[in-house]
Structure 1
Amino acid sequence: MRRAAAVVVAGGMALVGVGLTAPTAHAAESDISFSNVVLNNGKPIVVGISAEVEAPLTYTVKSNVSLDTWWVEAYRGTYGTDEYTLANTTTQWSCRQSSAGGYTYRDCDETMTIDPDSMPGGNGNNLVNGDAAVWKTVGTGIKKNGGYDHDQLSATVRLQRASRIQSANATPEPVAKGGTITVTGTVQRANWSKHRYDNYGGRSVKLQFKPTGSSTYTTVKSVTASGTGHLKTTVTASQDGTWRWRYSGNTTTGAANSSGDHVDVN
């Protein structure tokens, strides 16, 4: 089942396909309620500059009236006034239904699709850097008699700008045992407002090493990127293996690993 997408028009939300305009925000009615809302398994949603990102969404709808459709969405702004929503579409894969005490319970599993180039209203139809923040949630139930209910929820989700580490390079290759290896790279993160990746200066980044034959990287040292995002450090060559950079992210920016660069030690 595909729910009607919520979009923002002229500063308010229109419910496409059901012909309702946005009401003034109000408390949930007793005949419909939403609970157990979890977005992206409780983890931040990390988005780059072009690729769509899918995030799981689970929740429970409780009602003692017949419903035509229902959904949960993440939004920013003031609900009922100038909100805009995160996902273009939410595909409802399944809802498991049960009954108890005169209520119907629907435990739903969905997938939100976030497209940084095509937001449903708000900031010029695309993500902007200020959207890297905590988003609130709201549940909507459409009754079969034509009424509807909006339930502002306590669940939130953090949206983050993707990061990446470019040009990771360990030299020389090969190197004599006991010699010096120089490792370089550049930290970048998504600039949603400009639709590009920009160098991300001043970040603390871990240099990691994986010996040949191992599947595990271990941290060798932490290095602070220059003001222009460039990384450079030296280590002593002791054994064959692969070097990479690891950035752990922050509240607005997702984590990233560079590609690995293998060095033979003679």
Structure 2
Amino acid sequence: MRMRSLATVVTGALALSAFAVPAAHADGGPTITDVVVNGGAEIALGPTAAKTFKVSVTAQDDSGIGEMDLHVILPGYLYHRADRGLTCTAKSATTSTCTGSWTIDSSNLYDNAPADDPWYIGATVYGKDADVLFADRSATFTVRRLAKLTVNAAPEPVMKNAKLSVTGKLTLANWETHKNAGYSGRSVKLQFRKKGSSTYSTVKTVTSGSGGALKTTVTATADGYWRWTFAGNSSTSTAKATGDYVDVR
């Protein structure tokens, strides 16, 4: 991984899909009770894209919460604090929630390693009685490379019970070249939604070929929509193609 200041990668205040790790402090000092990152939603970036999201940290102390300081930390990079400031709200005499937002810009990334490493929310919580809690890993989250899918079903229209060829391509963002690249060797599901239905059903699973190419043959039995779906993995986002409608005659 190339060493770069996180200040060039992340700006503002940031939030992410994460789990909270309550941090304890002895003798009634501050504790972190909850961390909510990006509303629990996946964070994925294209080859040249910026995304802004929020993080909220809830903490409590017997004397009340005086203030908080939040950082985004990526191992191997420097950390960056919320330079737009935080909005803090007292929930009770002892509990407060502070919220901020950051922007991650993949144009400033020069390799794909940040999708393989965990990112962290670091928090410093100050009680009104001068007790302090330092939690450099109060939550963890992942920033994934954005995957995309295309689909084409042919011929259109097609005779009932005739063979239908469904093709497409699976790609993912490459933060080193700042372009999309074919994603081969991955399991991708072909799904069908009958006209008038709101539900897709999986028909078969295929493996993406060279350059992320997808191709299979099915029997056309009814009007409806065909699409490819990819479940994603630890470093790559989920993806769904827009359904391609086929008229069966």
Alpha-carbon distance between aligned partners in 2 of 1:151 and 1:47, rounded to the nearest angstrom: 27
Query: Unaligned stretches of 5+ in structure 1?
Result: 1-6, 10-26, 118-124
Match of 1:173 in 2: 156
Deviations 1:138-163 (A, max 9, x none): 1035799x998642234211221110
Q: Percent identity?
A: 36
- Paired positions, count: 226
In the alignment, structure 1 residue 221 sits paired with structure 2 residue 221: no
The equivalent position to 2:111 in structure 1, one of 125, 128, 147, is 128
- With normalisation by structure 1, the TM-score equals 0.72
Match of 1:58 in 2: 56
SS at match of 1:223: strand
In the alignment, structure 1 residue 116 sits paired with structure 2 residue 106: yes
Contact 1:207 1:245 in 2 (8 A): yes
Alpha-carbon distance between aligned partners in 1 of 2:175 and 2:187, rounded to the nearest angstrom: 22
Distance 1:186 1:154, change over 3 A: same
Alpha-carbon distance between aligned partners in 2 of 1:36 and 1:90, rounded to the nearest angstrom: 22
Query: Unaligned stretches of 5+ in structure 2?
Result: 8-23
Match of 2:241 in 1: 258
Match of 1:13 in 2: none
The equivalent position to 2:97 in structure 1, one of 79, 89, 107, is 107
- With normalisation by structure 2, the TM-score equals 0.77
Q: CA deviation at 1:262?
A: 0.7
SS at match of 1:131: helix
In the alignment, structure 1 residue 198 sits paired with structure 2 residue 198: no
Deviations 1:201-239 (A, max 9, x none): 111100011111111111110010113210000000100
Q: CA deviation at 1:66?
A: 7.3
Q: CA deviation at 1:249?
A: 0.4
Match of 2:16 in 1: none
Distance 1:188 1:8, change over 3 A: closer
Contact 1:36 1:60 in 2 (8 A): yes
Match of 1:244 in 2: 227
1:106 aligned partner, one-letter code: S
Alpha-carbon distance between aligned partners in 2 of 1:258 and 1:89, rounded to the nearest angstrom: 37
Choose between structure 1 and 2 for higher RCO, CA contacts under 8 A separated by at least 6 residues.
2
Q: CA deviation at 1:95?
A: 2.1
In the alignment, structure 1 residue 35 sits paired with structure 2 residue 33: yes
Contact 1:91 1:112 in 2 (8 A): no
Match of 2:141 in 1: 157
Match of 1:96 in 2: 90
- Ranges of 4+ aligned residues in structure 1 off by more than 6 Å: 27-30, 146-149
- Name whichever of 90-99 and 198-207 sits farther off: 90-99
Match of 2:15 in 1: none
Alpha-carbon distance between aligned partners in 2 of 1:201 and 1:8, rounded to the nearest angstrom: 31
The equivalent position to 1:70 in structure 2, one of 65, 68, 82, is 68
What RMSD in Å do the two structures reach over aligned CA positions?
Answer: 3.2
Alpha-carbon distance between aligned partners in 1 of 2:65 and 2:54, rounded to the nearest angstrom: 26
Distance 1:215 1:48, change over 3 A: same
